[in-house]
């Protein structure tokens, strides 16, 4: 299952059924779980832990040192879950000691060609990053987020669950859950209706989320006053929206 031209560091821990293609390089302190497929010309550096049943295509660079001038060779980490797809020319980098020293990726994510995940990012599950989407350092992306092609997220921003970032958008503020944003710089354009329907949200829930959106963006309220009004809505799916806004350090897109 390992091509004879691949270079594997003796300290790497690789499950027996892992496929590693021609001329790939697996560095020191790399752990790769069962069922994972690694194509040709892939470079994986450690310390990196890759879970089970991932697919990493040719010319991807995974677990390399961060592009941060403050990095001085400290031991930092990359951790990835299961069933992720990493397409050609993706770059995913380890963390820095200025944060939690780890870049963390969940499971069932799709990273298309040329996606860049910078140091200390935390990505949830079931996300889709279209071609050339990029995250600066310290970004947090929650579950079921979809980033359009050539979109970018500024450092320390958060992107809430079930949100959609349109093509060519630049995000410099936190994107609350359920939103659709677009532009340079990104502004809200309603709910991510298509994504929510695909996730099985009921029409009643969608109606309450529309009501919440109008409170935040259509009534001219301050954020504090909008939160007060949101707390009057008796819908469980609104609570994550409240929690997200209350804990925002960068401010939300407006």
Catalytic residues: 119-120, 137
Report cis status (omega within 30 of 0) of the bond before 44.
no
Exposed/middle/buried for 174, CB within 10 Å: 0-12, 13-18, 19+? Answer: buried
Residue 145 CB contacts under 8 Å (≥ 6 apart), including other chains? 124, 127, 128, 159, 160, 161, 162, 163, 164, 165
DSSP secondary structure, 163-198, as one string: -EE-TT-EE-SBB-TTEEEETBTTEEEEE-HHHHHH
What is the distance in angstroms between the CA of the first residue and the CA of the last residue of the chain? Answer: 51
């Amino acid at each position: 299952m390992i091509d004879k031209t691949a270079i594997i560091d003796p300290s790497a821990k690789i499950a027996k059924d892992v496929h590693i293609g021609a001329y790939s390089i697996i560095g020191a302190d790399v752990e790769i779980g069962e069922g994972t497929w690694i194509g040709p010309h892939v470079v994986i550096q450690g310390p990196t832990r890759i879970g089970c049943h991932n697919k990493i295509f040719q010319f991807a660079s995974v677990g390399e040192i961060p592009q941060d001038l403050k990095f001085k060779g400290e031991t930092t980490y990359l951790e990835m879950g299961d069933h992720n797809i990493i397409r050609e020319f993706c770059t995913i980098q380890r963390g820095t000691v200025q944060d939690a020293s780890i870049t963390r990726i969940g499971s069932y994510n799709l990273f298309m060609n040329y996606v860049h995940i910078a140091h200390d990012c935390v990505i949830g599950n079931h996300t889709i990053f279209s071609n050339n989407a990029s995250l600066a350092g310290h970004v947090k992306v929650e579950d079921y987020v979809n980033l359009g092609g050539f979109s970018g997220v500024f450092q320390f921003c958060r992107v809430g669950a079930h949100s959609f970032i349109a093509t060519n958008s630049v995000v410099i503020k936190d994107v609350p859950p359920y939103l659709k944003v677009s532009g340079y710089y990104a502004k809200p354009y309603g709910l991510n209706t298509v994504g929510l329907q695909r996730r099985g949200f009921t029409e009643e829930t969608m109606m309450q989320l529309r009501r919440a959106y109008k409170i935040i963006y259509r009534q001219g309220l301050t954020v504090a006053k909008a939160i007060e009004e949101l707390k009057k809505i008796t819908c469980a799916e609104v609570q994550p929206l409240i929690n997200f806004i209350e804990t925002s350090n960068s401010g939300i897109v407006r």
